[in-house]
Each structure stands twice: as structure tokens, then as C-alpha cells.
């Protein structure tokens, strides 16, 4: 049974066969699709390292480490800089 009895293609379009045809200009509701967006990460100016949680870090010329705090900006890291610390940081590469 046709649920499109008042459809504009009825009797006009050769593709109409009790369903909406593929050439019809009447919009049908289509199911929602999941779309994966690729968003480029925006880092605070000066970021040159990150960690496993993608937190911004920077190392300056004097080998001091800084981490980013949203409300305060760059804050100097005062903890130990040992091999475990260094192994958990990853260099940020900028693409231009």
C-alpha cells in the first residue's frame, strides 16, 4: 500500500513505484549518521611538549619545564625531572 498518495511524482515520474523515487526532489527524513570530525589541536603559544593526557608543556633554553594552566598561563614545574618524567613527555611537531 502506498503511503505517498499525494506525492507530486505520482503519475509523472517513471521511477515512482509506490515508494519515493531516486530522482524525486521532495526531501525525505534520512537517518542520522555519525560523522567523525578531525579537529586540529590549538596549543598555547610556546608549547613544545605534551603528555599522555595531551596537556601543554614547554621546555625553555635553560632546561626549565613549564605546564599550562588555563587560568594562570605557563607555570613552572618544580618536581623532579628524571627519566620517568622525560619518558612521559612527547615533542609537539608543528605542521606549516
Q: Sheet holding 49-50: strands in order across? A: 73-76, 65-69, 56-59, 49-50, 90-91
94: its cell numbers: 608543528
Give the span between the Cα atoms of 66 and 70, in whole angstroms: 13
Highest mean pLDDT among 23-27, 40-44, 46-50: 46-50
Residue 30 pLDDT: 59
Residue 91 pLDDT: 93
Higher pLDDT, 91 or 22: 91
The DSSP call for residue 44 is P
How much is the pTM?
A: 0.55
Residue 45 pLDDT: 92
Look at the alpha carbons of 26, 31, 34, 39 in this order and tell me if their dihedral is positive or negative: positive
Amino acid at each position: 500500500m502506498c503511503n505517498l498518495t499525494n506525492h507530486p511524482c505520482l503519475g509523472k515520474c517513471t521511477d515512482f513505484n509506490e515508494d519515493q523515487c531516486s530522482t524525486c526532489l521532495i526531501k525525505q527524513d534520512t537517518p542520522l549518521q555519525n560523522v567523525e570530525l578531525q579537529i586540529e589541536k590549538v596549543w598555547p603559544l610556546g608549547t613544545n611538549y605534551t603528555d599522555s593526557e595531551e596537556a601543554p608543556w614547554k621546555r625553555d633554553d635553560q632546561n626549565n619545564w613549564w605546564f599550562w594552566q588555563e587560568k594562570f598561563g605557563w607555570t613552572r614545574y618544580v618536581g623532579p625531572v628524571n627519566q620517568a618524567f622525560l619518558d612521559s613527555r612527547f615533542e609537539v611537531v608543528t605542521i606549516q
